Amino acid sequence: MSMDETLYCPPRQPWRWVGWLLASQLLVAVLWGWLGWHWGLPAMLLSHALFLVPVFLPNSRFYGPVLSHWPQAGNRVWLTIDDGPSADTPALLALLARHQARATFFLIGQRAAAQPALVQAIIQAGHSIGNHSDSHPQAWWWAQGPKRLAAQIGQCQQRLATLSGQPPRWYRSVVGHTNPFVAAVLRRHGLTRVGWSARGYDGVARDPAAVLARIAPDLRSGAIVLLHEGGSPGQAVAVLEGVLQLLHQRGLRADIPG
């Protein structure tokens, strides 16, 4: 097994948080009964916050393992591009080819099914693909129950497996949110959750220079870089061009694990 193969880490204990939840509520009950509501109520609110806050932290391991850095990467950096395929995909592929760079495209299932030729183009160019949900319901992803999460991830997995010939092994949470029920679905499909260590907020910022300024300080060996496609016309290509130029200046190269 290569060093990169050890990066694959589907959750082994997806329900371990249940024990922590029960223990925390037992402690709250004891405090409430022993010291009264003056202590019990703050303890209850704190215990709820401890389980809610990790949902919104992209690199939190509270609900399961996540890759936030590429260990022992040498001079390599892992470029990850979310939300495709899109009209940007051909230009991104051409740009990556010119720089002899590789990336992982985290694809939305329904968009992939509507543009199968672009999925094939990504694979044939030597890049990898990952699961980024079937329809990308970003406003409510964090609050989904187990059935809807299973459908979103499972349907995307099935579509991408059909289009590419094999099921993806990487998963990227929608807007980075990971609620308590995600890990069980990832275990079922053998998926490894991928976070990031460098981002430029290109999903909200429209100025490529501002995006690059945010990415640059974290662009180092083993970085996992979060990029997006399908936004403002030309933005994704401009940002990727800037990132690739920075990598060249720093003696780094864009590659993918495996």
List Cα–Cα distances, 70 to 53, 101, 197, 242, in angstroms: 25, 16, 9, 21
pLDDT of 3 higher than 80 = no
How sure is the predictor about 188, in pLDDT bands with cuts at 50, 70 and 90? Answer: very high
- pLDDT tens string 17-43: 999 999 999 999 999 999 898 889 998
- pLDDT tens string 191-250: 999 999 999 999 888 899 999 999 999 999 999 999 999 988 899 999 999 999 999 999
Phi, psi of 227 (to 5 degrees): -130, 165
How sure is the predictor about 139, in pLDDT bands with cuts at 50, 70 and 90? Answer: confident
Domains, the chain: 1-258 (3.20.20.370)
What is the average per-residue pLDDT within 164-185? Answer: 95
- pLDDT tens string 142-161: 888 999 999 999 999 999 99
The C-alpha atoms of residue 132 and residue 86 are separated, in whole angstroms, by 14
Please give the sequence-ordered ranges of beta strands (E in DSSP) within 126-233, or none if there are none: 128-131, 170-171, 192-193, 198-199, 224-228
The C-alpha atoms of residue 116 and residue 89 are separated, in whole angstroms, by 12
pLDDT reported for residue 5: 66
Helix (H, G, I), strand (E, B) or coil at 202: coil
Average pLDDT, the chain: 94
List Cα–Cα distances, 127 to 13, 98, 100, 109, 207, in angstroms: 30, 14, 11, 17, 27
What is the average per-residue pLDDT within 98-115? Answer: 98
What is the average per-residue pLDDT within 172-186? Answer: 95
What is the average per-residue pLDDT within 75-98? Answer: 98
Please give the sequence-ordered ranges of beta strands (E in DSSP) within 4-110, or none if there are none: 76-84, 103-107
Residues of the chain with pLDDT > 70: what percent? 98
What is the average per-residue pLDDT within 49-75? Answer: 95
Token reading at 257: 């694990």
pTM: 0.94
Token reading at 97: 């080819």
Cβ-in-10-Å burial (0-12, 13-18, 19+) of 121 comes to: middle
